[in-house]
């Protein structure tokens, strides 16, 4: 007994911290906020309740105050960061303040940003070009800070971290509006959203880079274009659930993603993450005239957004519906036609991407609700989460959900074999004007959004028919000759 007491007294002080159950205590909070746990229906006050903080996180081995998240003490670490402000600069006062404020406010290790000199990276490798950025991978030998090591009086870091460098075009004069947009998302940490570690700068172009968490399996769009093993409906529903959970976290925090598409749904070790919150836009353009600065990937934008209305939670849900159908059909939306003014008009008039005949009716119904022309008719992220969570939990060979979907899996697997054969022979063609990166969009005089007049056939049992797909047909919209003349005239006016 005496020996055990002695050992207990000599424990290093950092062991006063407690491990955090991330499933129960979500690490995406602002000081003083409350977040609802969807699984337990509990409401947990995280930061103002000192006893709750002490119970969940333990106490700081230096100041003996309750922790604020994991092995983290916000007051102690804020002082350490502040003492180091004089030792670095990004060369931009606004960016310096942006990073410094994140460090002073950080209540958890994944809520702060660092200035990371470019020479601190090695093996920098170009990956691809986005709409307003270039993407690289790199190794960060030093790695990001996890906690303060009390015994050794230094930061403990996750060393040799592989990261993504998102180099923003024309960002040497990054606007305050852009920083404010990104900062509004970095105020929170979301378990299903890609972590931003900090900011760096390309020494050649002088453009700034966001340093982001790396995902080994790339994005959903590339995955669908390259994967060689069939993904069954159970796995697809699990994927939809994970995306919906991330979207719910974003919406619960009072934010809107705005730029949700399959290019920023990332895979890592079979888990899905949402990326690019606030970052899929030009870094040097201010928001004085928002209606003239609409940017995004056309096939995923809700019709009301195309018409100039603001992005909302409901417009995120529309994008989610397009992604769901893309994953099921294994085809990028509208891949065989130009992504132009004509398509924008058709979308407002009710056109939607083709649905596969192998889509189970309950998924057809959910997709339909997500991309309804009326934002008020779309489900909320919470409703999506609850539906998909229910399907996940009920999935077994004796369940109703399994019996409704198992036959579709057989049909879908056969279709996958045919698609894989076409892909191998390079027989799948994408229209040269089908553009899947963010860009400026400026469409004038678009019609009021409506649903297709033939949507009643969407719910018929003929979905399993081997004849012409009535669903695909009813979602296509034909424009009259007068419509096309008006569009041509509008485009000529813009050109002039």
| Contact present, 245 and 192 (Cβ < 8 Å) | yes
Residue 121 carries which DSSP code? Answer: -
The more confidently predicted of residues 71 and 384 is 384
Same fold? 72-213, 218-407+436-458: no
Of the pLDDT bands very low, low, confident and very high (cuts 50, 70, 90), residue 32 is: very low
Please determine, looking at this structure, whether the domain spanning 72-213 carries the CATH number 3.30.530.20.
no
pTM above 0.85, yes or no: no
CB of 400 closer than 8 Å to CB of 394: yes
* Residue 83 to residue 153: CA distance in whole angstroms: 14
Closest listed residue to residue 231, CA positions, set 367, 420, 72: 420
pLDDT at 54: 82
Domain 218-407+436-458 maps to which CATH number in 1.10.3290.10, 1.10.510.10, 1.10.730.10, 1.10.3110.10?
Answer: 1.10.510.10
CA-wise closest residue to 180 among 292, 285, 75: 285
The domains of the chain are located at 13-71, 72-213, 218-407+436-458
Range in 211-220, 289-298, 357-366 the model is least confident about: 289-298
Q: Mean pLDDT score of the chain, rounded to an integer?
A: 79
The per-residue DSSP string of 256-291 comes to: -----SGGGEEEETTEEEE--TTTSS-SS--STTGG
Q: Which of 10-24, 134-148, 170-184, 440-454 has the lowest mean pLDDT?
A: 10-24
pLDDT digits (tens, 9 = 90+) for 323-356: 999 999 888 999 999 999 999 999 999 999 988 8
pLDDT in tens, 291-302: 456 888 999 999
- 23-32 as b/e: b if 16+ CB within 10 A: eebbbbbbee
pLDDT surpassing 90 at residue 456: no
User: Among 58-67, 176-185, 412-421, where is mean pLDDT lowest?
Assistant: 176-185
Range of weakest confidence among 69-78, 243-252, 479-488: 479-488
Assess whether pLDDT exceeds 90 at residue 485. Answer: no
List CB contacts of 79: < 8 A, sequence separation 6 or more. Answer: none
């Amino acid at each position: 007994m005496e020996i055990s007491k002695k050992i207990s007294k000599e424990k290093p002080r950092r062991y006063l911290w407690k491990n955090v159950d991330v499933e129960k205590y979500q690490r995406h909070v602002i000081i003083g906020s409350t977040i609802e746990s969807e699984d337990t229906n509990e409401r947990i006050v995280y930061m103002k309740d000192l006893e709750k903080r002490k119970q969940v996180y333990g106490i700081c081995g230096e100041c003996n105050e309750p922790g604020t998240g994991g092995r983290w003490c916000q007051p102690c670490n804020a002082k350490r960061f502040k003492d180091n402000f004089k030792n670095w600069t990004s060369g931009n006062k606004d960016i310096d303040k942006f990073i410094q404020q994140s460090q002073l406010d950080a209540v958890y290790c994944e809520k702060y940003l660092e200035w990371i000199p470019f020479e601190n990276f090695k093996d920098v490798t170009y990956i691809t070009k986005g709409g307003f950025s270039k993407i690289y991978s790199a190794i960060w030998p030093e790695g990001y800070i996890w906690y303060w090591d009390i015994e050794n009086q230094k930061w403990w870091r996750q060393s040799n971290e592989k990261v993504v460098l998102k180099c923003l075009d024309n960002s040497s004069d990054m606007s305050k509006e852009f920083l404010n947009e990104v900062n509004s998302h970095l105020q929170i940490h979301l378990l299903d959203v890609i972590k931003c570690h900090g900011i760096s700068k390309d020494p050649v172009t002088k453009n700034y880079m966001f340093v982001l968490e790396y995902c080994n399996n790339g994005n959903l769009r590339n995955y669908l274009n390259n994967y060689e093993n069939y993904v069954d409906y159970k796995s697809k529903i699990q994927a939809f659930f994970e995306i919906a959970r991330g979207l719910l976290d974003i919406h619960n925090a009072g934010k809107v993603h705005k730029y949700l598409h399959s290019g920023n749904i990332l895979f890592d070790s079979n888990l899905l993450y949402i990326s690019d919150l606030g970052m899929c836009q030009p870094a040097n353009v201010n928001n004085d005239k928002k209606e003239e600065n609409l940017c995004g990937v056309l096939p995923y934008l809700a019709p009301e957004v195309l018409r100039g209305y603001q992005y909302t939670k409901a417009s995120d849900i529309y994008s989610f519906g397009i992604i769901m159908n893309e994953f099921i059909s294994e085809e990028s939306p509208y891949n065989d036609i130009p992504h132009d003014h004509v398509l924008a008009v058709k979308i407002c008039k009710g056109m939607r991407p083709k649905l596969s005949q192998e889509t189970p009716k309950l998924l057809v119904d959910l997709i339909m609700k997500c991309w309804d022309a009326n934002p008020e008719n779309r489900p909320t992220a919470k409703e999506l989460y609850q539906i998909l969570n229910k399907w996940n939990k009920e999935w077994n060979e004796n369940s109703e959900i399994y019996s409704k979907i198992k036959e579709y899996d057989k049909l879908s697997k056969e279709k996958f074999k045919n698609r894989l054969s076409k892909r191998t022979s390079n027989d799948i063609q994408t229209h040269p004007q089908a553009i899947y990166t963010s860009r400026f969009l400026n469409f004038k005089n678009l019609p009021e959004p409506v649903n297709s007049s033939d949507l009643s056939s969407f719910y018929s049992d003929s979905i399993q028919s081997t004849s012409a797909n009535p669903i695909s047909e009813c979602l296509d919209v034909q424009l009259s000759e007068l419509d096309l003349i008006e569009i041509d005239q509008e485009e000529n006016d813009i050109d002039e």
